[in-house]
Amino acid sequence: MFTYVNACCLFAFVKFAIISQAVGQLIISGPPSAVLQGETVIFRCSYPGRDLSPEGAVRWEVTSPNGEINNVTLGQTVDPNYPEARYKLFGNASGGEYNLQIVNVTREDAGRYRCAIKGINLIVYTEFSVVVPVPDPPTLTTIPDTPLQVGQELVLRCSYSGGYPEPQLSWHNGTGPIFSDQYREEIELNTGPNGERTVESTIYFRNNVTKYDNGVNVSCRVSQSEDPFTFVKESWKVLTVHYPPTVVVPREQVRVFKGESASLTCQVDSNPAATITWTKLNSTLLQGNLANGNQTLIIPGASQQHAGTYQCSAENVLPPKAVGTVQVFVDVKPYDTYTRDVAIITISVVAAVILAAIVVVAIIMVNRKG
C-alpha cells in the first residue's frame, strides 16, 4: 500500500517493515522485514517526473546494524565495496526510477536502506534483516557414550554451529521439556573454521539414572523464530540403562491334584536379559518343562514326589542375583479316597466270609468224626 503526502519541504523519518509506503511524491518500497540468506531483494525508489540520471542526483545509502553509514551507489555507479555481481541498479532513471537489486543476500547486507535524492530534504528508510537457518541438526551424545548402569550420573552434550538470529537450545524428554531444575548446565562458545559461531551445551542431571530411565527418549532442540520464519532442528537419543534382575512371584503357593499339571512362574525384569534357572530344594532331581524364556516351569502329571519348594534364580552381568520361591502341594482327589475305602471294606468282607466258611467246614468235619 502506498500513501502520498505533499512533502515539498517536509523532513520525515519513516521506518519500513513488510508493507511499502510512500511520502509525498517520493515512493519507497523494500523487501519484507526478514528474508532468508541467499534470496534476492529489491528496493524501489521513484520520484515521478524528476530526472534522476545526472551524476550525483541520487544515491542509495545503508546504515548497518552497528550504526555505520555507507553509500552503496552514487548516481549510476555501484560503490566498489559492493560487488556488482550481486548489487545492480535498474529502472528508468530519467523518468524518476532508481531501483536497487541485491542477489544472494548475506548477513552483511542487512540494515536500513535510504534512497537520497539531491535537493529533497526527506529521509525515508526501509529496513530488513537476513535469517540464516542452522545448517545441520545438532550433535547429541551421552557421556560416556556407552550403556549406562543404574546409579551412574547422566551427562548429555549437545552442540550446533551457525544460525542467525542466535538459535535457542532446549532439552526435551519425549514430548515434554526437561526443566532446568533437573540439571546443571555448562555452555561453551567457540568459533568454527569458517568463522561460524559454535555452541556446546553440557547438562549434568541432579539425580542418577534408575532402571526406569531405560528406553527414555531424550532430545536436543535448536529453534529460530524471526517473523515470518520458524526453524527447528532436533536430534534425539534413546537411553540404554543396564540394571540387575528382579524377580516377582505371582503365586507363591501352587496346589494341584495328583495327575494334574503344575505351572510355576517367576516374572523377571533385567537389562541385559538374565539367565534363569530352576531348582528344587533338598533334591538333586528337577522334573518339568521350561517355557516363556525359562520364566515358567511346567510339571506334568504331578505326584507326591513333586511336592516341595522350588526356587527360580535370575542372574546377569550386574549383581546381585535375584531369587524367588514357589511352594507346590499335591493333593489326592476325593473320589480316589472313596474308591480306596470301598476296596478296603470289600476285601475285609470277603476275608471275613472266607474265614467264616473255613470255620463252618471245620466244625462239620469234626462232628462227622464224632
Determine the Cα–Cα distance for residues 130 and 39; give it in Å rounded to an integer: 9
Which of 322, 272, 275, 256 lies closest to 264, judged by CA? 256
Q: Tell the residue number behind the cell numbers 535524492, with chain if given.
A: 117
Report the distance separating Cα 94 and Cα 189, nearest Å.
Answer: 52
d(CA 303, CA 95) in angstroms, rounded, equals 112
Rounded distance between C-alpha atoms, residue 293 and residue 370, angstroms? 85
Extract the C-alpha cell encoding 322: 535375584
Distance CA 43, CA 13 (A): 17
Q: Dihedrals φ, ψ of 21, to 5°?
A: -135, 165
Closest to 226 (Cα-Cα) out of 164, 138, 171: 164
CA angle 133, 34, 2 (to 5 degrees): 160
pTM of the complete model? 0.73
Q: Render each residue's pLDDT in the chain as its tens digit; 370 residues.
A: 233 333 443 434 443 332 334 445 788 899 999 999 999 999 999 998 889 999 889 999 999 999 999 999 999 999 999 998 999 999 999 999 999 999 999 999 999 999 999 988 777 889 999 999 999 999 999 988 889 999 999 999 999 999 999 999 999 998 799 999 999 999 999 987 878 899 999 999 999 999 999 999 999 999 999 888 999 999 999 999 999 999 999 999 999 999 999 999 999 999 999 999 999 998 877 888 999 999 999 999 999 999 999 999 999 999 999 999 999 999 988 755 556 666 677 777 777 778 777 777 767 777 776 6
Q: Which residues pair with 199 in a beta bridge?
A: 160, 189
**For residues 18 and 128, what is the distance between their CA atoms, to the nearest angstrom?**
9
